[in-house]
Amino acid sequence: MHSLNNLIIEFYDKLSSWEQSVVKDTGYSLAQVHTIEVLGSHGPMRMKELADRLGITTGTLTVQVEKLVQFGLIVRTPHEVDRRSIMVELTSEGTALHKQHNRMHLQLTEDITRHLDPESIKVLTQSFEKMNREF
Amino acid sequence: MHSLNNLIIEFYDKLSSWEQSVVKDTGYSLAQVHTIEVLGSHGPMRMKELADRLGITTGTLTVQVEKLVQFGLIVRTPHEVDRRSIMVELTSEGTALHKQHNRMHLQLTEDITRHLDPESIKVLTQSFEKMNREF
DNA sequence: TTTATTAGTTTGATTGTCAAATTATCTTGA
DNA sequence: TCAAGATAATTTGACAATCAAACTAATAAA
């Protein structure tokens, strides 16, 4: 258990460094790419929900979103029924960036699991499912 | 492979949020606790090595270390042979903080793996070892 | 012994962040 | 119904963390 704990921490640190270096190559900041990632994997959503998912305040997000709109990566549209709310979604460019980033992630996953046999991959997948459920 | 990739990303995000909330309770910042974590798990080291492990410049670290010294969590001592270098190490208070944080991590690992059978834990551990090697 | 490299600090600028105040809209309960 | 409270987003002012570049001191290499 103790060694598994250390392995998880090491895994997290390495994934962190990897993400940092991959993001740097895009020319956008970590916070910006993270915003694109969330919108890309969960679809359009309100400012409030996006802020909650990113773990930041809406005040911070307002500024962040402003920049991404200027970059042409996202657009703001009024919420259909709630006029207080604003929906945020990816443009085609934003979607392209998300897809590109996703491909990098997929490639990394393939790279780091290449010495695992099919049975281990199966157990690993099931274990991640169970662990994610327990957070 | 595609689903494993998504599970890894989800795992990473959840671990990120967990760390954020756990760190907030300590009263120290994420960057500060991270510095303590690295020193705690790898022992005393030079500024340069610490900066590299944290993925920041030595300029940033100089400021960061200054604060941690004021908090009484670390001390700076001259390097024994290289007079350009400065060794940074945890005080007993810093060590206490590290141990406390480590206990939280261990508890989390126990919590999220409680529905895994011994054989899965074994495979999971071996898989993490292999994946960490491939980064 | 020059010259180049390395370790750490300082400085100035930028980014990401929050809390609090503000405006607009929605929801609720009397 | 409608006044009071709650919620969504923005704005503002203040910090934290960060980097790049200039700088000092010490070591390494030619």
> Is B1 part of a structural domain of the chain?
no
Q: Is B78 helix (H, G, I), strand (E, B) or coil?
A: strand
What are B87's two structure tokens? 């060794």
CA distance A128 to A106: 16
Which positions of strand D lie within 7 Å of protein CB atoms?
Answer: 7-13, 16-22, 25-28
Residue range A86-112: average pLDDT?
98
Domain residue limits at A58: 2-134
> Is B69 part of a structural domain of the chain?
yes
| Per-residue pLDDT reduced to its tens digit, A118-128 | 999 999 999 99
Per-residue pLDDT tens, chain B, 135 aa: give them.
899 999 999 999 999 999 999 999 999 999 999 999 999 999 999 999 999 999 999 999 999 999 999 999 999 999 999 999 999 999 999 999 999 999 999 999 999 999 999 999 999 999 999 999 999
CA distance A115 to chain B (A): 7
- B116 CA, D4 C1': Å apart: 52
Looking at residue B1, its pLDDT comes to 86
Flag whether pLDDT at A1 surpasses 90: no
B107 touches A at CB < 8 Å: no
Sign of the Cα pseudo-torsion (A49, B31, B6, A23, in order)? positive
| Per-residue pLDDT reduced to its tens digit, A15-62 | 999 999 999 999 999 999 999 999 999 999 999 999 999 999 999 999
Edge-to-edge strands of the sheet including A45-46? A45-46, A86-90, A74-78
Closest Cα in chain B to A17: B55
- A44 CA, D19 C1': Å apart: 33
Closest Cα in chain A to B21: A55
CATH number of the domain within which A103 lies: 1.10.10.10
Closest Cα in chain A to B14: A135
> Is B4 part of a structural domain of the chain?
no
Looking at the structure of chain A, the number of domains it has is 1
> Is B129 part of a structural domain of the chain?
yes
Binary contact (B135, A9; C-beta < 8 A): no
Residue range A61-65: average pLDDT?
98
